[in-house]
Amino acid sequence: MLFEIVGKNITVTDSMREKIEKKLSGLTKYLIIDENTVARVVTRVYPNIQKIEVTIPTKVGLLRSEVQHEDLYAAVDLAVDKLEDQIRRQKTRLNRRHKDSLAETFIDEMEAENVDVPVRTKTVEATKMDLDEAIMRMELLGHSFFIYTDEETNKIAVVYKRHDQGYGLIEVE
């Protein structure tokens, strides 16, 4: 990656240039950035604050951050954090977009081959018990759900473990 570092109302020193180049070079671990890509960095000084603007054109899209801080080096760190967050969000979007097309391709391929996926069948006897006993049995078995017949309603119900560590109940009408 090439760097174009410009200072407005400030002279960019060698140490500032080194810090900026070092921090921005760290972005290559997240994203393949062409060696001919020019990262444009503009630093500005106002009476009480320092401002840094970073713009990097990539194949994924334009990465841009603008940060104001009292210390220029802290502003560089914050700008790089913003750019890393943008890269993370772009990668997530791309993964979701490609995941859907990959699933569709897999389904199309299975339909084309007419492959039968084996389905395992199990028969369960729904024993009469109350909700607390059903939860206890589910925990003892180490399962994520348990089917039983509710003592009060005399109907089949399913208790299950939720991702938030709580429990859920499905009742049949």
The domain in which residue 58 lies consists of 2-113
Q: Is 20 exposed, middle or buried (0-12, 13-18, 19+ CB in 10 A)?
A: buried
Whole-angstrom distance, CA of residue 148 vs CA of residue 129: 7
What is the average per-residue pLDDT within 2-21?
89
62 and 109 inside one domain: yes
Provide the β-strand partners of residue 3: 39
* Structural domain includes residue 161: yes
105 and 139 inside one domain: no
Mean pLDDT for the chain overall: 83
pLDDT tens for each residue of 110-139: 565 555 667 888 888 888 999 989 988 888
**93 vs 172, which has greater pLDDT?**
172
pLDDT of residue 115: 55
Residue 40 contacts residue 4 (beta carbons within 8 Å):
yes
Whether pLDDT at 29 is above 80: no
**pLDDT band at 68; cut points 50, 70, 90:** very high
Say how many domains are in the chain.
Answer: 2
Q: Is 62 exposed, middle or buried (0-12, 13-18, 19+ CB in 10 A)?
A: exposed
62 and 10 inside one domain: yes
90 and 148 inside one domain: no
102 and 34 inside one domain: yes
* Structural domain includes residue 28: yes
14 and 85 inside one domain: yes
* Structural domain includes residue 121: no
99 and 160 inside one domain: no
Domain endpoint, select from 63, 82, 113: 113
* Structural domain includes residue 120: no
149 and 82 inside one domain: no
Whether pLDDT at 51 is above 90: yes
pLDDT of residue 107: 61
**pLDDT band at 88; cut points 50, 70, 90:** confident
Whole-angstrom distance, CA of residue 142 vs CA of residue 121: 20
